[in-house]
Amino acid sequence: MGSRASTLLRDEEIDEIKKETGFSHSQITRLYSRFTSLDKGENGTLSREDFQRIPELAINPLGDRIINAFFPEGEDQVNFRGFMRTLAHFRPIEDNEKSKDSSNPEPLNSRSNKLLFAFRLYDLDKDDKISRDELLQVLRMMVGVNISDEQLGSIADRTIQEADQDGDCAISFSEFVKVLEKVDVEQKMSIRFLH
């Protein structure tokens, strides 16, 4: 199967994906193999239904939000390159990457890009702010019926009160970043890919 993956994926494509995402050649070919095994329509793209067959996403309370992150606005299919771009946010940052020169664009797995990815999971209406209602919806997804609406409301209110610096009763991206400045986002938003 690994040889099939490398024959369908041209070396130029692999090189472009390597530059864009930071994944190694072997990681790309192995992830391509996984991608094609998920591609039930065998058309070179994945649908939301294909993602829902992944057990880890099916049981994750934020699974639908994570799946949505793979699809550009208005799209219902994602190709391999888009799939890899989204996965790159979860690629661990290696020590040798932290000191790269500033002429290169910021890698997809940088701290700020990881934070932006996480922020977008909460910003359901895409208005660049996390409102109390959006925070409540995500909290409800995460805890289910284990906590009362009153308790959830209290958590949401306290979170916004602590994070909101400009008094608009919402959390902007810069406020989100400030709240998480001491959190090891690089570690928490990393998946070890096929080592």
Predicted confidence (pLDDT) at residue 193 exceeds the cutoff of 80: no
| Cβ atoms 21, 84 nearer than 8 A | yes
Query: What is the rounded distance in angstroms from the CA atom of residue 32 to the CA atom of residue 45?
Result: 11
Give per-residue pLDDT as tens, 14-48. Answer: 999 999 999 999 999 999 999 999 998 889 999 99
Structure tokens at 187: 């570690």
Nearest C-alpha neighbor of 48 from the set 30, 34, 63: 63
Minimum mean pLDDT among 1-10, 29-38, 106-115, 147-156: which range? 1-10
CATH of domain 109-195: 1.10.238.10
Whether 109-195 and 10-88 are alike in CATH topology: the answer is yes
Q: Give the right CATH number for 10-88 from 3.10.350.10, 1.10.238.10, 2.60.40.10, 3.30.70.360.
A: 1.10.238.10
The domain locations on the chain are: 10-88, 109-195
Which pTM value belongs to this model? 0.81
Structure tokens at 16: 């472009």
Provide the β-strand partners of residue 46: 78
Predicted confidence (pLDDT) at residue 7 exceeds the cutoff of 70: no
pLDDT at residue 57 in the model? 86
